[in-house]
Chains A and B, each alone.
Chain A
Amino acid sequence: MNFAVEIQNFSYSWPDGTKALRQINLTIEHGQKVVLVGPNGAGKSTLLLAMGGFVRGTGKILIDGIEVCPANVKKIRMLLGCCMENPDDQLFMPTLYEDVAFGPLNMGLGAEEVKRRVEDSLRKVGLEAMAHKTPHHLSAGQKRAAAVATVLSMSPKIITFDEPDGGLDPRNRNNLVRLLRELSQTLIIATCDMRFAAAVADRAVVMDNSCIVADGPVAEIFYNGELMASHGLETP
């Protein structure tokens, strides 16, 4: 069977020798919405970076059946979109329109197709009126939505989000939940906010001390108070 993500015995250490990921084994099916939860420093963000081919360790990672390795980087980046923790890192072009067009243009798409994708993506996140604004003129919630649009315009099969709810007020968080629930792609979301995680995902993977310690349906994992407390987490 072809999984959206298949990770086999993956380990990674930081250059100073600190273990960041130990023997990770994980499979995610197409269309699943998965949250990676765990305390700070558990390895959630590093695992997302490894899926995108930004850090290379031992073991194997397959994205839609294609191995993450230098030879396949271009294919992997077209299949898997990364949404960074800080939207200011994601939005680097002078205008929002150019930022959303950045990925499709790098994919070599024609001008008309790029325009269509940019307009579609901006409409999906409700920012079509802000297209020609510079990113520093956007609010925190708008920046977050804009960051999602920059990935949506590439139409990836899988999207990873690193702490997408960080710094959002309840209204913007609810808007983001609604947006993520509407997406048909496979979503992998790293977060520390259990209420947010419970609202967007069907499956939860708990990480602690660089390992996966639990994996199952959100309802089962999040309401296991003993499990959550033993890893420094709280129930929603």
Chain B
Amino acid sequence: MHHAYLDKYADGDSFFHHLDSRVKFLAAVVYTILVLSLPRDHPAVVVCYAVAPFAVLVWAGIPLWFVLRRILMVSPFVLVLALSCPLYDKTPYPVVFGKISFWLTGGWLRCFTILAKFVVTMLTLFALVGTTRFADLLAGLQWMRFPDVLVMQLGFLYRYLFVLVDQVHHILLARSARKFHPLGFRREMKIAAAMTGSLFIRSIETSQRIHIAMQSRGFTGTFHSLRHTRIVLRDIIFLLGFLAVCVLLHGWVRHIFM
């Protein structure tokens, strides 16, 4: 089976690929907080913040269609939230683009801001995972004293999500092979429930076998790691550049638009 790996391009050779995962993670978190803290009725300001992650993706050679497709995949959840805004805030606001001016309700402005913040934070996230191997990211989190259980869970999620997706494909294939015509909503729901239950049971059995495999190799609850990463000049240059971009955006762009 073929899967759409999140870190498919993480083995690249760009400047950003060689940065320490901790530095990239911290930069992504700070940038996300900056974007989320922007005022809720200024979508134009938020759009300016897209420049930095966009530049990183282009420089790192990560195809934009790859990122945009994944953003579209998760967008329905945010779309529902954003599109509900115009329903409850009808306060009119003037919008001016040079000589063009028109009125929009506060709800629509908030809707655009939410969508813009979503796209910018997702671009930031993809700039991080697109240039960092997941294993390095986990090692960075472990170094930063994130709870072991959380790091372990993320590692298992990444490792076994693909196995689970394979099982889903096999179950769907088996169903298709024996289903010759539509069975009606109730039958289909019943079959879907049985398939989901079967997946749950398989997952529990798999977790039991993994636990045995871990115990057989001496695991007693603590993860040990061999990784010893170092912050080098490249990382410091990136951090200084990142700080400069943040100051520029936070001061200059806000000053112009607000």
B224-256 interface with A by 8 A CB criterion: 224-226, 228
Q: How far is the CB of A220 from chain B (nearest CB, A)?
A: 32
Q: Is the CB of A134 within 8 A of B134?
A: yes
CB-CB under 8 A from B159, the residues of chain A are 91-94, 134-136
B218 engages A82 (CB within 8 Å): no
A233 is an interface residue with CB less than 8 A from chain B: no
**Residue-by-residue, is B202-228 near A (CB-CB < 8 Å gives 1, otherwise 0)?**
000010011011111111100011101
Asked if residues A77 and B217 are in contact (CB atoms below 8 Å), the reply is yes
Which of B135, B162, B163, B212 is within 8 Å of A82, CB to CB?
A: B212
Tell me which residues across on chain B come within 8 A of A52, comparing CB atoms: 212, 216
Stretch of A12-20, A24-32, A96-104, A179-187 that contacts chain B: A96-104
Interface status of A115 (Cβ within 8 A of chain B):
yes
Q: Does A95 contact B (CB under 8 A)?
A: yes
Interface residues of B (CB under 8 A from A): 3, 133-135, 138, 155-156, 158-160, 162-163, 206, 209-210, 212-220, 224-226, 228
Assign chain A's interface to a size class. 35 or more
Q: Which residue of B lies closest to A151 (CB)?
A: B217
Contact, CB under 8 Å: A134 / B135:
yes
What B residues does A91 contact at CB under 8 A?
A: 159
Q: Are A81 and B216 in contact (CB under 8 A)?
A: yes
Which A-B residue pairs are the 10 nearest by beta carbons? A106-B218, A94-B135, A103-B217, A105-B224, A82-B216, A89-B209, A136-B162, A95-B135, A90-B213, A84-B213
Determine which of A90, A95, A106 lies in contact with B219 in the assembled complex, contact meaning CB atoms within 8 Å: A106
Contact partner of B218 (CB less than 8 A), chosen from A49, A89, A107, is A107
Chain A residue with the shortest CB-CB distance to B208: A89
Cβ-defined contact, B212 with A49, below 8 A: yes
Closest Cβ of chain A: how far from B231's Cβ, in Å? Answer: 20
Cα A135 to Cα B160 in complex, Å, equals 10
Contacts of A132 in B (CB 8 A): 133, 135
Q: What are 25 A-B interface contacts by the 8 Å CB criterion?
A: A54-B212, A74-B218, A78-B218, A88-B163, A88-B206, A89-B206, A89-B209, A89-B212, A93-B135, A93-B159, A94-B155, A94-B158, A95-B133, A98-B225, A98-B226, A101-B226, A102-B214, A102-B217, A102-B219, A103-B217, A103-B218, A105-B226, A106-B224, A107-B218, A151-B217
